[in-house]
A and B are shown apart, each in its own frame.
Chain A
Amino acid sequence: KNEVEQSPQNLTAQEGEFITINCSYSVGISALHWLQQHPGGGIVSLFMLSSGKKKHGRLIATINIQEKHSSLHITASHPRDSAVYICAAPSGAGSYQLTFGKGTKLSVIP
């Protein structure tokens, strides 16, 4: 079963800072998900990526399949980016079950 680890657990940043959240997993997979959860809110899918890099606005996600590692970057962070960011990977190769990291709680201070 895939073990998904995220770091850091908590992150406080000043508005405008560049933010990096890391995710590592133990079982080779073909795609990894990054999700966002606001306090008391639902879960929004940010990215699903299987190789290289994806960009959406100020968010960038990268993945290194060989090293079993992915990063989520936020450029020019803003208080509205404050949320919990979760990475999720299939439990095994070809599995439909997702294993989730415990999340990174990001607080961006004005």
Chain B
Amino acid sequence: NAGVMQNPRHLVRRRGQEARLRCSPMKGHSHVYWYRQLPEEGLKFMVYLQKENIIDESGMPKERFSAEFPKEGPSILRIQQVVRGDSAAYFCASSPHQQGNTEAFFGQGTRLTVV
């Protein structure tokens, strides 16, 4: 049973380009969470999705950021018109139930660098 798979591991984008980050949850997990880790800061919640539904996007910037978890395929975190401040590590976690009281399984992360 493969763990949470994220790709790419590293992504370099020029300012103004789009970044697409992918997350395939563990088999049997239907709950996906995205977190952002800025340099020298702790992890911060961005968005919580279940299959085809966004449950909570309160931690995600209102502009330029969007997330989806389609019926088929991985969850995608999309950042449009990237700026230098978007440079960070983005982690995805999945769980069979709502996180909090359930063990969290994290991916390796995608390190986004905006140049």
Measured CB to CB, the residues of A under 8 A from B are: 29-31, 33, 35, 40-45, 48, 50, 86, 88, 90-91, 94-103
Contact B42 A101 (CB under 8 A): yes
A95 to B58: give the CA distance in the assembly, Å.
Answer: 13
Residues from chain A with a CB closer than 8 A to the CB of B107 are 42-43
Taking a contact as CB atoms under 8 Å apart, the answer to whether A98 and B42 are in contact is: no
Q: Which of A50, A95, A97, A99 has the most CB of B within 10 A?
A: A97
Q: Is the CB of B105 within 8 A of A45?
A: yes
The count of A-to-B residue pairs whose CB atoms sit within 8 angstroms is 70
For the complex, give the distance between the alpha carbons of A98 and B103 in Å: 11
- Which B residues are closer than 8 A to A by beta carbons? 31, 33, 35, 41-45, 48, 56, 59, 91, 93, 98-109, 111
Give CA–CA (A103, B89) in the complex, Å. Answer: 15
CB-CB < 8 A to A41: which residues of B? 108-109
Q: Which residues of A lie under 8 Å from residue B31 when comparing CB positions?
A: 96
Q: How far is the CA of A99 from the CA of B42 in the complex (A)?
A: 9
Picked from B41, B100, B109, the residue with its CB within 8 Å of the CB of A97 is B100
CB neighbours of A98 from chain B (8 A): 33, 43, 45, 99-100, 104
